[in-house]
A and B are shown apart, each in its own frame.
Chain A
Amino acid sequence: MTTTVTAPTTETPGRRTGAPRRPSPLRDVATMTRRESRRALRSVDGLVTAFALPVLIMIVFVVIFGGAIGGSTGGDYINYVVPGVLVMCLGMNSSSAALAVSQDMTSGTLDRFKTLPIFGPSTLWGHVVASVVRNLTSAALVVLVAVALGFRPDAGVTGWLGFAAFAVLAVVTFTWISAVLGLVMSPDAAGSVNMIFLFIPYLSSGFVPVETMPEWLRGFSENQPFTPIIESVRGLLMGTPDGATIATGCAWLAGFLALSLVAGSLLHRRRTAR
């Protein structure tokens, strides 16, 4: 006689339901922001770029070059140069997103993220938020050291708030530009994106007045975006804000931001497509 026994199917209760989990873009961006902050703050390179380099660049300009350059700017060179140094540092500090994005694209990490039910561009927004936080801290440090060295800003509460808002816009834009470059560049190339933010500000009114430059360069210097951007910061910090200059600076930043948002979203979707 044979008895057929059917084994009961065992199911682990409460697990493996595969139930759809609700999308939560804010949580995704917060998680990615923590990741990017760790990446930046845990490498010697990241720490130097974020905090040591901005202070060193300012010290070099104020202490070493300041004496020689000072005459042409009328008054204290430190008051003239700190806004330029600040903007340059915001740019360089944002540009680390290029290398990070590029590294993610070429490592297996991206494939892993792709198989998760996460908000698509949350990695990019993680870079942006982490960059804003890092940059504002770094800018505060630069301002403090500058004040110790003799920088005397003349801004009221509105001026400082205006500067903070303007800096956030600048950092978001610079970070998005860098992220877009990271999407199309190899990690080797992406490592040198900071050169853009290091050299182009030199060709503006940030460090020396445009009038002291050779004539063939003045056309570029007066009209390139870093000049109105730095002049806006200068106006806000020195208590002489000029509406038209700030509007031009904001227009440049908003334009670049819109372009990189569109390009970045399209490129990111293509790079993560199946």
Chain B
Amino acid sequence: MNDPMIEVRGLRKAYGRHEVLRGVDLDVRRGEIFALLGPNGAGKTTTVNILTTLVRPDGGTATVAGIDVVRHPGAVRRRIALTGQYASVDEFQTGEENLVMMADLAHLPHRSVRRRAHELLDRFGLTDAAGRRVATYSGGMRRRLDLAISLVSDPEVLVLDEPTTGLDPVSRTQLWDVVRSLATDGTTILLTTQYLEEADQLADTIAVLADGRIAARGTASELKALVADDKVRVVFDDATSLAAARGGALAGVDGLAEAEADDKQLTLTLPSSAPVHTIREVLARAEHGGLEIAGVSVVRPTLDDVFLALTQRPAPQATPNRTPQETRR
């Protein structure tokens, strides 16, 4: 298992007086899917830009396949490919022309350029659209083409910077399938995301980046255990029932002591390590006490909870990453 593909030690980078990375350590094993999870401004894009040789670090070391990214950027570039936050494909060219162009620029042997382009179009379900200009493609198709382009030179490591930001749920699921199939074929994948669900779905290992440092790392379930229990949210029909529930009608249900009530929404939210059990208890006691309940739901930990738990401070608003500054650097 000890076969590192990416090794990062004490990575630091500042833009002016703003320290973006304050000593990041990462180990990505060969063939795994590794997710770098963090909110806007946490340093995700800066980290991947350093790994892909686009940005020079101020301190620390980073190696890809054992090769130093600062000393041998050319050799690193031959092994790593980046798919950025925005599909960087030419709208005025067709999907096939975009792929052929990148295969030419990657200096593939002339005779294999077209074959490689067609292989990739086929793999990403773009064969039917191959002859159409990218201007007519949907957002999901552009991302798939972008990903296909990244794979032209068959990189050992694929870096995906927020690959599904801005995609609809169907396109997102399709892209996840593609990423999984790449990993199955042996490509090491480093992806950044601000969605816990995405990291949960895809990654073997997750590292949480907050404030320029790795706040935690582990598998999805390890992180969830670190973070917080699931919660059970009970919605009441009226304020009287909510008051009664708090007044003792639910006495004996685990987690009631830490429950949070919302008088406007008429909800009571209880932490729970066994949500099904808690729901059963709540319903049984409500029935017994004559409480009017409108609904019950399970609330999974959110990215906000992860950050609250790991950094002990409120998470920045997790909005889609649309700040051009972060990518342009």
Could you tell me which A residues sit within 8 Å of B by CB distance? 10, 12, 15-16, 18-22, 24, 27-28, 31, 34-35, 38-39, 42-43, 107-109, 111-118, 274
Main secondary structure of the interface of B (DSSP, over half): loop
Task: Give the distance to chain B from A188, nearest Cβ to Cβ, in Å.
Answer: 15
How far does the alpha carbon of A20 sit from the alpha carbon of B75 in the complex, in Å? 7
How far does the alpha carbon of A42 sit from the alpha carbon of B134 in the complex, in Å? 12
Q: Are A117 and B78 in contact (CB under 8 A)?
A: yes
Residues B113-149 near A (CB distance < 8 A): 133, 149
Known contacts A20-B75, A38-B93, A108-B327; A115 and B82 CB within 8 A of each other: yes
Interface size on B, residues (CB 8 A): 38
Q: Are A274 and B55 in contact (CB under 8 A)?
A: yes
How far does the alpha carbon of A5 sit from the alpha carbon of B195 in the complex, in Å? 38
Which of B54, B56, B86 is A114 in contact with, Cβ under 8 Å?
B54
Known contacts A27-B107, A108-B84, A274-B53; A43 and B156 CB within 8 A of each other: no
Q: Are A18 and B65 in contact (CB under 8 A)?
A: yes
Asked if B47 is an interface residue, CB under 8 A from chain A, the answer is: no
9 cross-chain CB contacts under 8 A: A20-B74, A20-B75, A20-B78, A24-B107, A35-B90, A38-B90, A38-B92, A113-B105, A115-B52
Known contacts A18-B78, A43-B92, A108-B87; A118 and B53 CB within 8 A of each other: no
Known contacts A27-B107, A274-B56; A108 and B81 CB within 8 A of each other: no
Task: Give the distance to chain A from B2, nearest Cβ to Cβ, in Å.
Answer: 13
Q: Are A42 and B65 in contact (CB under 8 A)?
A: no
Contacts of A18 in B (CB 8 A): 65, 75, 78-79, 156
Task: Give the distance to chain B from A96, nearest Cβ to Cβ, in Å.
Answer: 13
Which of A27, A28, A34, A111 is B54 in contact with, Cβ under 8 Å?
A111
How far does the alpha carbon of A98 sit from the alpha carbon of B56 in the complex, in Å? 29
Of the listed residues A24, A38, A118, the one surrounded by the most CB atoms of chain B closer than 10 A to its CB is A38
Task: Give the distance to chain A from B116, nearest Cβ to Cβ, in Å.
Answer: 11
How far does the alpha carbon of A60 sit from the alpha carbon of B185 in the complex, in Å? 63
Contacts of B106 in A (CB 8 A): 21, 116-117
Contacts of B107 in A (CB 8 A): 21-22, 24, 27, 117
Q: Contacts A12-B186, A35-B93 given; 12 further ones with Cβ under 8 A?
A: A10-B186, A16-B154, A16-B156, A18-B65, A18-B156, A20-B74, A35-B90, A109-B88, A112-B84, A115-B77, A117-B107, A274-B73
Interface 1/0s, chain B 220-250, versus A by CB < 8 A?
0000000000000000000000000000000
Q: Are B156 and A39 in contact (CB under 8 A)?
A: no
Contacts of B74 in A (CB 8 A): 20, 117
Task: Give the distance to chain A from B212, nearest Cβ to Cβ, in Å.
Answer: 19
Which of A15, A31, A111 is B101 in contact with, Cβ under 8 Å?
A31
Contacts of A22 in B (CB 8 A): 107
Asked if B292 is an interface residue, CB under 8 A from chain A, the answer is: no
Contacts of B73 in A (CB 8 A): 274
How far does the alpha carbon of A213 sit from the alpha carbon of B78 in the complex, in Å? 61
Contacts of B87 in A (CB 8 A): 108
Q: Are B88 and A111 in contact (CB under 8 A)?
A: yes
Which of B53, B88, B92, B104 is A42 in contact with, Cβ under 8 Å?
B92
Asked if B97 is an interface residue, CB under 8 A from chain A, the answer is: yes
How far does the alpha carbon of A117 sit from the alpha carbon of B80 in the complex, in Å? 12
Q: Are B92 and A274 in contact (CB under 8 A)?
A: no
Contacts of A10 in B (CB 8 A): 186
Contacts of B84 in A (CB 8 A): 108, 111-112
How far does the alpha carbon of A166 sit from the alpha carbon of B101 in the complex, in Å? 32
Task: Give the distance to chain B from A242, nearest Cβ to Cβ, in Å.
Answer: 43
Contacts of B86 in A (CB 8 A): 107-108
Q: Are B97 and A21 in contact (CB under 8 A)?
A: no
How far does the alpha carbon of A109 sit from the alpha carbon of B101 in the complex, in Å? 12
